[in-house]
Amino acid sequence: MIWCFQTVLLFIAHLVLSDWAPAAPPTQNSFFYSDYLNESGNNELHFIGMKLYVDSAEQSVLSVRGGNATLQCRFWYEPVPSSPREVRVKWSWLPAAGGQETDVIVAFGTRFRSFGDFRGRVQLRQDFPGDAALVLNKLWLNDTGRYRCTVVDGLEDQSAVVHLELQGVVFPYQHPHGRYHLSFLGAQQACKEQDSTVATITQLFQCWKEGMNWCNAGWLADGTVQYPITQSREPCGGARLAPGVRRYDRIHLYPNHYDVFCFSSLLQGRVYYLQSSHKMNLTEAQHACQEDGAEIAKVGQLYSAWKFTGLDRCAAGWLADGSVRYPITRPRSNCGPSEPGVRSFGFPPPQHKHGVYCYKLDTERV
């Protein structure tokens, strides 16, 4: 009885003091929380005031390589506070290929710090109170993925998610020795050498919806092996199987070898067929581009020029990897199949004579 009576007195005293005592200056967290005694005499934390909200006006953003992107994020309180609150804003990124979520930028007021490959390319917009939008400049091919905006005020935090994708083109790529010669690490290197990156399942699925039909299995960025089929047939999983993106069972990354699906986006220059009075071998083609103030084009650059600028040339030309290809946007007789695409003659002997496609960087766009 004595213990219960003391508890009641303490509780009444707490209520009287909280109602009648002069208000103390609020601390950073007192706007949201207050301590109360529970029945056992211990402190408990209770929510007593405003709530923090975080939202994004866009769930996904589409841009291109070398371009800029603004990922929307805003925060507010209900009810509206009488004075501005000091909050910490953090953006983090989960790559489209998977892996660990890493910090992009952390800001507190006007002070901020960016991290890793994002350093010097990101900033918070802060155009109005509660604006926490992330501005990314000079986008890279690998910047795609899920971005999380987290706002922290004391013990309260809320977040919103925005997905970034790039417009581009997916293309299948084989080793010069032929089909299924690329390990996963070899596939990553092969795409990089062709001014591209290993495609994600989202990018491959988008190209399948646009009509990509390819029966050879290839690596994707998450380490899976898949291939897109729009016309079902026996050698490609069976004629009775519905069209779609076919997937091999989960496999070990290292001992297995396949082709690869690469992804490229908008170029920072232009690809062109070099006018010449004669055909050239591979070495001569490389020198010819250099003499024209350019370099021999890579496979990803040719696909990008075909996709974004409508490059159309019914003339086979050397590329940097030793393959011979040509881009067609307006199918016609004597220029290959009836659908648009980049035609390939494979990897002929380097002493054979062909034209050449060159790539010249636009320094004003870099």
For the segment 132-148, what is each residue's pLDDT rounded down to a tens digit?
999 999 999 999 999 99
Distances (CA, A) of 208 to 126, 211, 215, 228: 39, 5, 12, 6
Determine, yes or no, domain membership for 45.
no
CATH of residue 193's domain is 3.10.100.10
Q: Are 277 and 301 in contact (CB under 8 A)?
A: no
CA 50, 52, 57: angle at the middle one, nearest 5?
140
CA 78 from chain centre, in angstroms, equals 34
- Considering the domain architecture, whether residues 141 and 155 belong to the same structural domain is answered as yes
- Considering the domain architecture, whether residues 218 and 306 belong to the same structural domain is answered as no
Does 353 have pLDDT greater than 90?
yes
Q: What are 182-211's pLDDT values in tens digits? A: 999 999 999 999 999 999 999 999 999 999
Count of domains observed in the chain: 3
CATH of residue 139's domain is 2.60.40.10
Q: What are 232-254's pLDDT values in tens digits? A: 988 888 888 889 998 887 666 66
- Considering the domain architecture, whether residues 173 and 243 belong to the same structural domain is answered as yes
**Domain-terminating residue out of 264, 295, 323:** 264
Q: Are 69 and 145 in contact (CB under 8 A)?
A: no
Q: What are 55-100's pLDDT values in tens digits? A: 999 999 999 999 999 999 999 999 998 888 999 999 999 999 888 9
- Considering the domain architecture, whether residues 156 and 59 belong to the same structural domain is answered as yes
Phi, psi of 236 (to 5 degrees): -120, 45
Residue 171 in tokens: 């293309």
Predicted local distance difference test score (pLDDT) of residue 165: 97
Determine, yes or no, domain membership for 37.
no
Determine, yes or no, domain membership for 209.
yes
Determine, yes or no, domain membership for 40.
no
**Domain-terminating residue out of 166, 193, 219:** 166
- Considering the domain architecture, whether residues 90 and 143 belong to the same structural domain is answered as yes
Determine, yes or no, domain membership for 104.
yes
Determine, yes or no, domain membership for 210.
yes
Determine, yes or no, domain membership for 19.
no
Q: What range does the domain containing 354 cover?
A: 267-361
Nearest in space to 230 (alpha carbons), one of 244, 210, 248 = 244
Instruction: Report the predicted TM-score, pTM, of the whole model to 2 decimal places.
Output: 0.81
Determine, yes or no, domain membership for 67.
yes
Quick one: average pLDDT of 273-279?
Answer: 92
Q: What are 307-340's pLDDT values in tens digits? A: 999 999 999 999 999 999 999 999 999 999 999 9
Pairing state between β 60-63 and 156-166? parallel
User: In residues, how long is the chain?
Assistant: 366
